[in-house]
């Protein structure tokens, strides 16, 4: 897989702070939320944090997948739909949570299911940003975000490898 030159690594601490900031921004609306629909898999972690901060107990998932690399996104496939109760109201008073909106293709699929829901992501890229109501950080379209659940801890070589230096 060919990745872009721009990298945006996100630590667990940073992601937790950003997800809490998303909750604070959403809390400013003074809206009573019936529940959260998180987009799996990336939306699971921020949905847990947002649900705790806003004291929302009903958490539902929608599972959308596309098999792709950075340059090519494949066909979108809905693996699991949202429950009928939330679909019946078209998502009114429902919060959709995801980690990132990139191209906006996943957001389009979920927005079509729940057109009245409030869509919130921690990070947004320009192509997906118009589909999101609330986000914390925008990164350029050619930036690859390395989420903490995608990374492991490994030894890092020093920049200067000269033992005399």
Burial of 51 (0-12, 13-18, 19+ CB in 10 A): buried
The reply, when asked if residue 103 is annotated as ligand binding, is yes
- Catalytic residue status for 99: yes
Residue 145 assigned to a binding site? yes
The annotation status of 91 as a binding-site residue, yes or no, is no
How far is it, in rounded angstroms, from Cα 61 to Cα 41?
9
Residue tagged active-site, from 30, 69, 102, 150 = 102
30 is known as an active-site residue = no
Q: 3-state DSSP helix/strand/coil percent for the chain, to nearest 5?
A: 30, 25, 45
Query: Which among 39, 85, 31, 90 is positioned nearest to 55, based on CA atoms?
Result: 31
134 belongs to an annotated ligand binding site: no
Question: Which one from 18, 69, 93, 99 is the annotated catalytic residue?
Answer: 99
From the list 18, 30, 69, 98, the catalytic residue is 98
Q: Report whether 102 belongs to an annotated binding site.
A: yes
For residue 145, the 8-state DSSP code is E
* 150 annotated to bind ligand: no
Beta strands in 6-117 (DSSP E): 6-9, 35-40, 59-65, 77-80, 94-101
- Does 28 count as an annotated binding residue? no
The tokens 């987009």 sit on which residue? Answer: 39
Active-site residue flag, 102: yes
Is 121 annotated as ligand-binding? no
41 belongs to an annotated ligand binding site: yes
Residues labelled catalytic: 98-99, 102
Binding site: residue ranges? Answer: 41-42, 98-106, 144-145
Binding site for guanine: residue ranges? Answer: 102, 145
Binding site for xanthine: residue ranges? Answer: 102, 145
């Amino acid at each position: 897989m060919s990745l872009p030159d721009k990298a945006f690594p996100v630590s667990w601490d940073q992601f937790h702070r950003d997800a809490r900031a998303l909750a604070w921004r959403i809390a400013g609306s003074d809206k009573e939320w019936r529940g959260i629909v998180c987009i799996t898999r990336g939306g699971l972690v921020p949905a847990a944090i947002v649900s705790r901060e806003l004291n929302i107990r009903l958490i539902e998932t929608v599972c959308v997948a596309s098999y792709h690399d950075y340059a090519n996104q494949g066909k979108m496939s809905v693996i699991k739909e949202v429950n009928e109760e939330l679909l019946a109201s078209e998502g009114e008073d429902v919060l959709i949570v995801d980690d990132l909106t990139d191209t906006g293709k996943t957001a389009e699929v979920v927005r079509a299911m729940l057109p009245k829901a409030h869509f919130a992501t921690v990070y947004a890229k320009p192509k997906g940003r118009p589909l999101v109501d609330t986000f914390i950080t925008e990164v350029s379209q050619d930036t690859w975000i390395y989420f903490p659940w995608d990374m492991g801890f490994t030894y890092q070589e020093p920049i200067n490898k000269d033992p005399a230096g």
